[in-house]
Amino acid sequence: MDKKKLPKIFRDPVHGFIQVDRSIPLRIIDSKEFQRLRRIRQLGFTSFTYPGGEHVRFAHSLGVFHFFCKVIERLKQLEFNLDDEQILVGSLAALLHDIGHGPFSHALEGILTPKKHTDWTVDAITCEESSVNRILRDIDESLPGKVASLIQGNFENLLPA
């Protein structure tokens, strides 16, 4: 059996097993920008009061991606028309939506930096030096802009004409 064709499986405490095809999403997950999310806490200072309150942005972002994939499966069952580009851009936005987060969740946002995490996220996606940007541009030159646009709440370029 060819291991390269099998999906990568992550064990998540909330969603159970999350399968990721060994394609674009896994390349993003393996990037240094995404891997740093393993060290960024989702729940801010909560773990100082509740030692079991540990959750990191890495697991959260995988969960959002997983949930997006489940929603797409259901929409397909309902015969809702979404093209491959819309699904790709949406799934990548779900996966990447938090790569700009700093430490301690939103607690220090605006104190340590004047930017919000969404601004840093867009910067990480659109900066030509980032590995995420290179991965996206390898697929399509316009993909970083489309993913960043969706994260900023601009859906116009994804809606059917």
CATH number for the domain harbouring residue 63: 1.10.3210.10
Rounded to an integer, what distance in angstroms lies between the CA atom of residue 69 and that of residue 85?
Answer: 14
Tell me, yes or no, whether 140 lies in a domain: yes
Q: What confidence score (pLDDT) does residue 105 get? A: 60
Within the chain, strands assigned E span: 8-12, 16-20
How many CB atoms lie under 10 A from the CB of residue 39? 10
Q: What is the number of domains present in the chain? A: 1
Tell me, yes or no, whether 68 lies in a domain: yes
Tell me, yes or no, whether 12 lies in a domain: no
Instruction: From first to last of the 161 residues of the chain, give the pLDDT tens digit.
Output: 566 678 889 998 888 899 898 889 999 999 999 999 888 776 666 666 767 667 788 999 999 999 999 999 999 999 888 899 999 999 999 999 989 877 666 666 666 767 777 888 899 999 999 999 999 999 999 999 999 999 998 877 665 55
Tell me, yes or no, whether 3 lies in a domain: no
Tell me, yes or no, whether 66 lies in a domain: yes
Which residues are CB-contacts of 83 (< 8 A; sequence separation ≥ 6)? Answer: 160
Tokens of 110: 């605006």
Domain membership of residue 74 as a residue range: 21-158
Rounded to an integer, what distance in angstroms lies between the CA atom of residue 126 and that of residue 21?
Answer: 24
Tell me, yes or no, whether 93 lies in a domain: yes
* pTM confidence score: 0.84
Q: Angle at CA 31, nearest 5°, toward 29 and 37? A: 65
Tell me, yes or no, whether 96 lies in a domain: yes
